[in-house]
Structure 1
Amino acid sequence: MMLHQKALGQGPLCDLPPRTKMLLTSAFFALAIAGTASAQTLGNRYGLLSATRPEIGFANYNTEQKLLVANQVKEMFKVFVHQYEKEDVYGVNALEKVDKIIKDAPGLSNRDFQYRMVALFQSLRDLHTNYYVAGPHNCYNFVQPLQFAFVESEDYLKKPKIAVKSYTVDKNVLARVPGIQDKVKIGDLLTKIDGKTWPEYFDTVKADTGGANQYGGYQRALQQISSKRGRSYKVPAKNAQVFTFQSSNSTSTFDITVPWVTVASKDCLADAPTGGAADPKNNALGKTEQKYHGKPKKPRTDDASVDDWGTEFFSSDLPAVAYAPTASSIVSYTIYRNNGANLGVIRLSAFTDSAPSDGETTALNEVKRLLTDVLADTDSIVIDLRTNGGGSLGFADVMPQFWVNAPNGFDTGYGRAINHPNNGALFNGPANEEDWAAAYNATPKGNKYTNTIKFNEASTMNTIGQLYLRPVALLTDAKCYSACDTFSASMQDHGFTVFGEDATTGAGGANVIEHQANLQAWAPSIYKPLPYQELDSNGKARLGVSNFRVAWRQTIRTGPNKGKLIEDAGIKSTYQLRPTVQDFVADDAKGVSSQFDRIAKYFKTNSNEQKKAGLLFQASLNATTVTVGKTFTIPFTSQKINTIELRDANNKVVTKTNPTPVDQKHKGTLEVVNGVATLGRSLFTIQGFNGNQRVLITRREFTVIPNTSAYLKVAAGQKYTLGSKDESAYTHVYNNPTNNAADAWQYKNGKLVLGNGIKYKSNVESALKIFVNLPASSKLSATFDVDSEKDYDYFFVTATDASGNTVELYRTSGTVAATATWPIPFSGNVYLSIEFTSDGGVVGRGATVKDIIIGS
Structure 2
Amino acid sequence: MPGTRKTVAKPVAKKTTARAKKAATRLDVEQAATVPLPQFLASAGTLTLGQRKLLVDQALLLLEQNYVHLPEKVAMHAVNPLQRLRVMRARMERQTAETMEAEWIFHREMSSIFHSVRDLHTNYLLPSPFAGKIAYLPFMIEKCYDTTGEHYLITSIVTGYSAPQFGSGVEVTHWNGTPIARAVALNGAQFAGSNDAANLARGLESLTLRPLVIQSPPDEDWVTLTYVGLDGSAQELREQWKVTTNLPPMTDLNAITPASAAMGLDLDSDEKARAKKSLYVRAVVSLEQGQTSAELTNPVAVGGADLATTMPGVFRAREVVTAHGTFGHLRIFTFSVTDPVAFRNEFVRLTSVLPQSGLIVDVRDNGGGHIFASEFTLQTMTPRHISPEPVQFISTPLNLRLCRRHKDNPAGIDLGPWFDSLDLATETGATFSAAKPITPEDGANDIGQTYYGPVVLVTDARVYSATDIFAAGFADHQIGKILGVDDNTGAGGANVWTHGLLATLLNEPPPADPTSPYVALPNGANMRVAIRRTLRVGELSGTPVEDLGVRPDATHKMTRADLLEGNKDLLDAAGALLAAMPIRSLGVTTSLAGTTLTVELDVDAIDRVDLYLNDRPISSEDLGAAPVGIDILDVTAGQLLRADGYFEGALVASRRVTV
- In which range does the TM-score fall when normalised by the shorter chain? 0.7 to 0.9
Higher relative helix content: 2
Quick check: 1:334–1:344 contact (8 Å CA) kept in 2? yes
Picking from 470, 487, 490, the partner of 1:503 is: 487
1:674 matched to 2:634: yes
The within-5 A match list for 1:559-638 is: 559-585=538-564, 593-604=568-579, 606=580, 609=581, 612-613=582-583, 615-619=584-588, 630-633=595-598, 637-638=602-603
1:71 matched to 2:40: no
Residues 1:691 and 1:508: Cα distance change in structure 2 (over 3 Å):
closer
The within-5 A match list for 1:658-669 is: 658=623, 660-661=625-626
Picking from 376, 387, 396, the partner of 1:420 is: 396
The within-5 A match list for 1:773-852 is: none
Residues 1:513 and 1:690: Cα distance change in structure 2 (over 3 Å):
closer
Quick check: 2:586–2:655 contact (8 Å CA) kept in 1? no
Quick check: 1:299–1:514 contact (8 Å CA) kept in 2? no
Deviations 1:367-405 (A, max 9, x none): 22233x313x53211101111111121121122222234
Secondary structure, in 3 states, of the residue corresponding to 1:324?
coil
1:308 matched to 2:291: no
Distance in 2 separating the partners of 1:646 and 1:498: 31
Quick check: 1:401–1:466 contact (8 Å CA) kept in 2? yes
**Superposition deviation, residue 101 in structure 1:** 2.2
Deviations 1:509-551 (A, max 9, x none): 100111113334326433433244xxxxxxxxxxx51111111
In the other structure, the counterpart of 1:515 is: 499
Deviations 1:424-468 (A, max 9, x none): 011111454110112322435322222222333544422333223
Residues 1:260 and 1:148: Cα distance change in structure 2 (over 3 Å):
same
- Return the TM-score normalized by structure 2: 0.80
**Superposition deviation, residue 42 in structure 1:** 9.6
The within-5 A match list for 1:61-210 is: 61-63=48-50, 65-77=51-63, 78-106=65-93, 107=95, 108-109=100-101, 110-138=103-131, 140-153=133-146, 160-169=150-159, 174=161, 179-180=162-163, 182-210=164-192
**Superposition deviation, residue 419 in structure 1:** 0.6
Unmatched tracts of structure 2, length 5 or more? 1-28, 249-253, 285-302, 407-412, 508-512
Picking from 241, 255, 259, the partner of 2:236 is: 255
In the other structure, the counterpart of 1:485 is: 468
Distance in 1 separating the partners of 2:333 and 2:246: 25
Residues 1:555 and 1:691: Cα distance change in structure 2 (over 3 Å):
closer
Secondary structure, in 3 states, of the residue corresponding to 2:334?
coil
Residues 1:362 and 1:300: Cα distance change in structure 2 (over 3 Å):
closer
Compare CA radii of gyration and give the structure with the larger one.
1
Picking from 339, 358, 362, the partner of 1:384 is: 362
Alignment: residue pair count: 582
Picking from 530, 535, 539, the partner of 1:551 is: 530
**Superposition deviation, residue 422 in structure 1:** 0.7
1:48 matched to 2:36: yes
Secondary structure, in 3 states, of the residue corresponding to 2:654?
strand
In the other structure, the counterpart of 2:378 is: 400
Letter in 2 for 1:160: E
Quick check: 1:390–1:482 contact (8 Å CA) kept in 2? yes
Residues 1:137 and 1:128: Cα distance change in structure 2 (over 3 Å):
same
Letter in 2 for 1:410: I
Distance in 2 separating the partners of 1:512 and 1:555: 11
Quick check: 1:401–1:461 contact (8 Å CA) kept in 2? yes
In the other structure, the counterpart of 2:320 is: 336
- Return the TM-score normalized by structure 1: 0.63
Distance in 1 separating the partners of 2:318 and 2:329: 5
The within-5 A match list for 1:725-764 is: none
Residues 1:669 and 1:184: Cα distance change in structure 2 (over 3 Å):
farther
Distance in 1 separating the partners of 2:645 and 2:131: 57
Distance in 2 separating the partners of 1:515 and 1:531: 9
Quick check: 2:459–2:483 contact (8 Å CA) kept in 1? yes
Deviations 1:123-151 (A, max 9, x none): 22212112222232335421111101121
Quick check: 1:338–1:592 contact (8 Å CA) kept in 2? no
In the other structure, the counterpart of 1:31 is: none
Unmatched tracts of structure 1, length 5 or more? 1-40, 268-292, 533-543, 703-856
Secondary structure, in 3 states, of the residue corresponding to 1:137?
coil
Secondary structure, in 3 states, of the residue corresponding to 2:130?
helix
**Superposition deviation, residue 484 in structure 1:** 0.7
Distance in 2 separating the partners of 1:351 and 1:296: 16
Bigger drift between 486-495 and 107-116 goes to: 107-116
* % identical aligned pairs: 20
Deviations 1:42-72 (A, max 9, x none): 99611222444422x1232242x32222211
In the other structure, the counterpart of 1:435 is: 417
**Superposition deviation, residue 618 in structure 1:** 4.2
Residues 1:422 and 1:593: Cα distance change in structure 2 (over 3 Å):
same
